[in-house]
Amino acid sequence: MTMAIRLIKGASSTRGPFALLCAAAGARIRYSTAAAVSSTTTTVTSTTTTPAGHGAIAHGDPSFLESVDIYFDKAAAIASTTPDILAQIKACNNILKVQFPLKCANGTVELIEGYRAQHSHHRLPVKGGIRMAPNVDADETMALAALMTFKCAVVDVPFGGAKGGIKIDPTKYSMNEKEAIIRRYTSELVRKNFIGPSIDVPAPDYGTGPQEMAWIKDTFEHLQPNDINGSACVTGKPLEEGGIDGRTEATGLGVFFCLREFLNDETLVARLGMTKGIKGKTFIVQGFGNVGRHTVDYIHGAGGKIIAIAEADGGLVDESGDGLDIPAVKAYHKKKGTITGFPGAKTMKFAPSILELPCDVLIPAALESQIHSGNAGNIKAKIVAEAANGPVTPLAETILEDNDVVILPDLLLNAGGVTVSYFEWLKNLNHIHFGRMSKRMEERGKRVLIDALENEFGNGHRFSDTVRSQVVKGNTEVDFVWSGLEETMLSSWECVKKIAEERKCNFRTAAYLIAIERIATCYRVSGIFP
């Protein structure tokens, strides 16, 4: 199968090492002009520094969307799926661009630009977050939507992929202005039929969180008052608004589960000259947001040493040899709003250089394209665990693998968020929280068991109150959530590992192969309408 790669004329991806790599691999390169959307958009001026991931193009790497296509094509070349189905899987079904005015607090009117991409409708609803960032555009949104399609398929969550974005720097707007933006964006989605419990269910992403999701829910329910399942139109909500216990830490916990399984596999770690287990291993984490912060928490709790953390405004490097004091770093970050200046470690102003420090595991947990052809050769980690979406470009992957670095792919590693979003969606559709019908029944059954054991032992034997309370305790909602998440991540990891061994490919290609086969099966069985 010949690999066809689309390059945009005028983009730096049409020259340099990326084009040379494609030509050397025998890929058929098709050049085209970027699809322009007719618009009178007023560009929003921002002094915010563009995230480092978007500088990867300067090194000759493909764009984010092109990277996703390249990874897909690599797996498609060895898949058993027919070309017509592959084309159907790869295509982005819908991309919506909206523009609307915002009356700012200072009395001026600003034109706001937003996007929503629905990549695949092989399963409904489609699912994916909404981010707010100054670099949001159609290509980025489509790339993230495609990753959501494949991610859901890998972990067997019955959603198609989607993604949304609003092109603003949220730090430059007041709370009232952000609320107005979110509510108007939601109303545009409602008008275009791009949101609903059975259609398209957003979630938090970079620059958004539970508060924004609460505004989305409230707006949808006001515009669709007859939808009894309205609260299921969005996930990642506050608990008080129908959210689910355990959603906030879900992505980080999913990353931890997969890392734990990999590092507990004696065969895999032996190939890297490492010993088994997390304890004592050294970790560097890029990003101290929701994903990075919780990932660090669980690794630290399991005995791993966090030796450095990188953020946009600088980073911390441990000099004690024992790893950073994570509880103290978290407390400092909560108080100061930054990790720089933390007294228990060395502060480095140029955060990207932190990625190149020696460690066992490097965890990029920020934005896409953070490891590219310009810095991949300097990475000294043995494992790169992709907690972010698309943090490693195809050129960087080649360089890393030539240096015997193992990459644990984003399609699996950061799927914890959408997995628990699925649980929240189910909770909202059922109009009841997990454990409500079973908790007391479980406790009664366990008390009967404890009493029976005490009677069997005889001689007045009685378990202590501490033991009784621990054994008898019924499962709460978060117990169900964490159990379901662990089962999902572990079973998916075993599947990816098995395919990688059988097909003699890396873990990313194995994950894509699983996604392609599952989506292809759906299309084959469903047929074509009409």
Active site residues: 163
The two three-digit tokens of residue 268, written as one number: 């895999």
Pairing of strands 314-317, 346-348: antiparallel
Question: 289: closest CA among 209, 216, 353?
Answer: 209
For residue 418, what is the enclosing H or E element?
helix 416-430
CA distance 401 to 299: 25
* 211 secondary structure, DSSP code: H
Is there a contact between 329 and 322 (Cβ–Cβ < 8 Å)? no
421 is in an annotated binding site: yes
Is there a contact between 184 and 212 (Cβ–Cβ < 8 Å)? no
346 is in an annotated binding site: no
CA distance 492 to 473: 29
The two three-digit tokens of residue 189, written as one number: 């989605």
Q: Kindly write down the DSSP assignment for every residue of 446-475, as one continuous string.
A: HHHHHHHHHHHH-TT----HHHHHHHHPPP
Rounded (10°) CA dihedral 220, 224, 230, 235: -20
430 is in an annotated binding site: no
**What Å distances lie between residue 65 and 19, 327, 371, CA to CA?**
15, 37, 16
Question: 316: closest CA among 289, 292, 344?
Answer: 344
From the annotation, which residues make up the binding site for NAD(+)? 251, 290
Binding positions are 127, 151, 251, 290, 421
